A and B are shown apart, each in its own frame.
With several copies, the nearest count.
Chain A
Amino acid sequence: MAIGRNPIVVEHIRKTRMTELLSKGNRLSGRGLLEYRPIKIETGLIEKASGSAKVSIGNSQVIAGVKVEMGTPFPDTPNQGLLVVNTEVLPISSRYAEPGPPSEDAIELARVVDRGIRESKMIDLQKLCLIPGKKVLAVFIDVSVLDIDGNLFDTISYACTAALATAKIVQYEVSGEEIKASEEKIPLPVKTIPISITMARIHDALIVDPDLEEEAVMDARLTLATDSDGNICAGQKGCPGGFTVEQIMQAKDIAIEKGKENRELLKKMTGIA
């Protein structure tokens, strides 16, 4: 279920119309079933962050910022740096987003995005280790949601990926127990570019990038992320509805193909190799 879904009542007539159109392969907005809304990516606007990206998909709009701090590794992974993804659905973003502790929806959002980045091994955490068991770099990616018009999963995910891929961090030189910050700024150790594709089922139709109206009537949601090699690296089904086994297989293929497209787009817009 999308944030802000519950309170929205799409009038019955509009919903019937939506279903009719979908059965013919069309959407209310005129988009094709597998067509994304315009995607805009702007990087580097937050100078105080190591990396940042403002991403909009249609009217959904978020900003992600990357901060790097010194930290202590977890006891069971003494050679790995830390990665923390945190999402805040700000009250400015929708009349249904209240200030206060993160909702269940916001927690799911943050955790799914986190898994997409973590499990794809986008960032080589080993390279963020300075002194094994003692000092590592901790990478915080915070996302502020500014405007909600559906498909926050992908909007947030692209913002995190773009901010990480363009971040520049202080280089440290370690000799023994001594850590010295060099003048040099270097990129994060990026190994792959994960791209999530979020799909919705409305009656029998499978569409990508649902907008707020579509989220209000969708039966089920599926987000699948793929890495640069076209492997699937994270998945999350949501909403109180299901998919048939066949739809899951179809969704898997869509995720891989659309993922390739959007990855190229993201690379072009951020200027990364």
Chain B
Amino acid sequence: MTTLINEEGLRVDGRRIDQLRPFKLEVGVLRNADGSAYIEMGKNKIVAAVYGPKEVHPKHQTLPDKCLLRCRYHMSPFSTDTRKNPAPSRREIEISKILREALEPALILGDYPRTAIDVYIEVLQSDGGSRCASLTAAALALADAGINMRDLVVACAAGKIEGKIVLDLNDAEDKEGEADVPVAIMPNLNQVTLLQLDGTVTREEFKTAFELALQGCKTLYDAQRATLITKYFGKAEPPQQEAQESQESQEE
């Protein structure tokens, strides 16, 4: 087993323990989808697309008073170290469910009775934290599709490696670390809409990790907003640059 944190307190990819990986956000990346977004977060490369509100098929799933939200998280066969079988795994089915439940509180589904909204997420390349990056992109794609929303949803994980609580685990840290705590929030409504925990942490570590993840969410939320503003109001600077600067200044 390699050392995940060196004597200078730096991680395998050179980050400090409270630092996010480099990231990049884009919206409107697909032509056919009603809304779409693309995220790079470390080596994660993920595209999210939204179709809807639209007619419900099969019809018997129609809800009389609100919109039916569906979500599919899927990994391309080439996205992982060893080729992934293209059929949906149980892991993908579970993640699809919790992502849907994490997005639903942000959407005003009562505005679209008897319709459906499909959120499709394709992981083109996966790294640690792909479910969090997927959520962040999916929220952007929903906004890009013009769906009525109460708030954005933004997600980030914290975890425990070699006894230390760190932000935003990459693949190696996820595999060899002691715990991973993905968290999603609606920042303005103060609602945690996704929380999972894999691994073992003490009562105090849980609190520390949870709060660190919320801090990561805040940085990403600023980037989400900047991306949408740039797209719709033509602000000149590329938002991902801004995001990274704000993050760096915050950390210095």
Which A residues form the contact surface with B (CB < 8 A)? 1, 45-49, 52, 59, 61, 63-67, 69, 86, 88, 90-95, 99, 104-105, 107-108, 110-111, 115, 119-121, 140, 142, 144, 146-149, 222, 224, 227, 230-245, 247-249, 252-253, 256
Contacts and interface: CB of A to CB of B under 8 A. Distances in A.
Nearest to A54: B124
Contacts of A115: 198
A95 B79 CA distance: 24
Contacts of B122: 90, 92, 144, 146
Chain A interface, >50% SS class: mixed
Nearest to B63: A6
Interface residues of B, number: 64
Interface stretch (B6-14, B184-192, B222-230, B241-249): B184-192
Given A48-B43, A111-B91, A69 B83 contact: yes
A64 B185 CA distance: 34
A82 B179 CA distance: 20
Interface in B77-129: 77-83, 86, 90-91, 93-94, 96-98, 100-101, 104-105, 118, 120, 122, 124-126
B120 A235 contact: no
26 contacts: A1-B101, A46-B78, A64-B78, A65-B77, A65-B79, A67-B77, A86-B86, A91-B49, A91-B72, A92-B33, A92-B120, A99-B120, A105-B97, A107-B93, A119-B197, A140-B78, A142-B77, A142-B86, A230-B203, A235-B197, A238-B101, A241-B191, A244-B190, A244-B192, A245-B190, A252-B207
Contacts of A240: 69, 100-101, 104-105
Contact of A231 (B76, B91, B202, B210): B202
Contacts of A90: 74, 120, 122
Contact of A237 (B45, B80, B82, B196): B196
A1 to B, nearest CB: 7
Contacts of A140: 77-78, 83
B190 A222 contact: no
Interface string B193-214: 1111111111100110010001
